[in-house]
A and B are shown apart, each in its own frame.
Chain A
Amino acid sequence: MSILAAESANPLIPPLGEIIIGLIAFAIVMVVFFRLIAPRFEQVFRARREAIEGGIERAEAMQAEAKAALEQYRAQLAEARTEAAQIRDQARAEGQQILEELRTQAQEESARIVARGEEQLAANRQSVINELRGQIGTLAVDLAGRVVGESLEDEARRRGTVDRFLDTLDGMSAGGATDGRTGSTVFVPGTDR
């Protein structure tokens, strides 16, 4: 029966039943693809794209951050270098100043010490001179008395004579005489030399 039907049928003229079956089948396929399969795949593609783009963005952000950090570090380094140079210069200047101060201080100190020494020496010399003046007077009077034989009893006259004698001695020494007597008795630095 089917063979007979086939022989009379034209394969290019399909029966309506088959067309309807085909329509239904393809409609079902379309519904499943539109409702389920395509949205799921699109969702996957979107998620993947976002993941990749997110990754790139994150990487870019990190790179920018790293670059900023590097810039900051470099700036800080440069700052630190200039600061260090400043500190060094300052320290050098300060050191120079301190040295200078110390030197002046030392000089002042030494000058003061020298001055004090000079004062002391002058004072000592004065006291020695005073003492010697008394002793020399007595000694000279004593000696003269012994030589002359106790003739010079008049006190007042005696003192006058001694004083006069000593004054002449002073006058000799103050006159800058370079006889051995003054040089050997008292040494005054800076004044006699």
Chain B
Amino acid sequence: MTSSALALVDVLAAEGGGAGDGFQAPGLSEFYPEPIAEFSLLGVDFAITRITLGLWFATLAMLVFMVMTVRKPSIVPGKMQFIGESGYSLVRDGIARDVVGPRGIPFAPFLASLFFFILANNLMAIIPFAQISPMSKFAFPLVLAAICWVIYIYIGIREQGAGRYFKDILFLPGVPKPMYILVTPIEILQNFVVRPFTLAVRLFANMFAGHMLLVVFSLGAVYLFSRDNFSIVFGPISALMAIVMTFFELLVIFLQAYVFTVLMGTYLNGSIEAEH
């Protein structure tokens, strides 16, 4: 039984019991569904939940789809190839070439992996029966942000040399010397803490909040419909909001996948091109 279903049961129980405690809003338990399987491997506890299954399903479906689009590559693309190619070109030309810079094309496969992985997992937020994005579990955005963090620092060292790269970050060129007291801590924080953290939290929080919104409006509609006073007026409004928010969520899904990838592009650009 899914956590949302449990919450639904709670809502209906509150109505049936008539305890007078009213609507019980869904809480954090939404994101901790009951594990389907639990096991321990090398001292690490694994809990396979429906969110984990969602991650696997989304990842697999996306990979299968992308492989299908390149199954028979030709100069004149067919329908499938056109779709895959448009998505890949969006990242390759729009981000790798235009944001990272003229030397950014080699990063296209990595950026495309990021974009399509996030997009597919975000989409699980509105796909019926899944309806929760694995990206609303902080672990997954954190993994991506950590990988990005390692990569853009590594690329910075490789392209500019360790001394030059860290010197430019510690002592931003073109800043008056006394200002370093202020600028240097900010720059260190910015480059090594804030960037990966915001990258992860932005994606996580958007998907987390999106899911909460959808659940609250959906369960609220069910609760209001089950009441016999004039809340019957507000029930349809709540249901309508749930539908509107689903479309809004669709926008957020694409936007967050794109924003994550574009920001990684700008960080790579900073690593490749010597600043100022």
Interface of A toward B, CB cutoff 8 Å: 1-3, 5-7, 9, 11-23, 25-26, 28-30, 32-34, 36-38, 40-41, 43-44, 47-48, 51
Interface residues of B in 118-141 (CB under 8 A from A): 134, 137-140
Q: A11–B47 Cα gap in the complex (Å)?
A: 15
Q: A6–B6 Cα gap in the complex (Å)?
A: 13
Nearest residue (CB) in B for A40 is B70
B44 touches A43 (CB 8 A): no
Q: A9–B139 Cα gap in the complex (Å)?
A: 13
| Residues of the B chain whose Cβ atoms lie less than 8 Å from the Cβ of A22 | 55, 134, 139-140, 142-144
Name 6 A/B residue pairs within 8 A (Cβ), A-sorted. Answer: A6-B32, A9-B32, A18-B47, A28-B59, A29-B113, A32-B63
Nearest residue (CB) in A for B74 is A44
Q: A51–B88 Cα gap in the complex (Å)?
A: 20
Of B104-112, B156-164, B246-254, the stretch lying at the interface with chain A is: B104-112
| Residues of the B chain whose Cβ atoms lie less than 8 Å from the Cβ of A19 | 139, 142-143
| Residues of the B chain whose Cβ atoms lie less than 8 Å from the Cβ of A34 | 109-110, 113
A25 touches B59 (CB 8 A): yes
Interface string of B1-41 (1 = CB under 8 A from A): 00100100000000000000000000111111111000000
| Residues of the A chain whose Cβ atoms lie less than 8 Å from the Cβ of B173 | none
A30 touches B110 (CB 8 A): yes
A6 touches B31 (CB 8 A): yes
B142 touches A1 (CB 8 A): no
| Residues of the A chain whose Cβ atoms lie less than 8 Å from the Cβ of B85 | 41, 44
| Residues of the B chain whose Cβ atoms lie less than 8 Å from the Cβ of A20 | 44, 46
Q: A126–B66 Cα gap in the complex (Å)?
A: 132
A25 touches B73 (CB 8 A): no
B208 lies within 8 A of chain A by Cβ = yes
B228 lies within 8 A of chain A by Cβ = no
Given A7-B29, A37-B109; A14-B66 close (CB under 8 Å): no
| Residues of the A chain whose Cβ atoms lie less than 8 Å from the Cβ of B27 | 6-7
4 smallest CB-CB distances across A and B, nearest first, come from: A14-B139, A18-B139, A38-B109, A6-B32
A37 touches B139 (CB 8 A): no
| Residues of the A chain whose Cβ atoms lie less than 8 Å from the Cβ of B140 | 18, 22, 25
| Residues of the B chain whose Cβ atoms lie less than 8 Å from the Cβ of A2 | 3, 29, 32-35
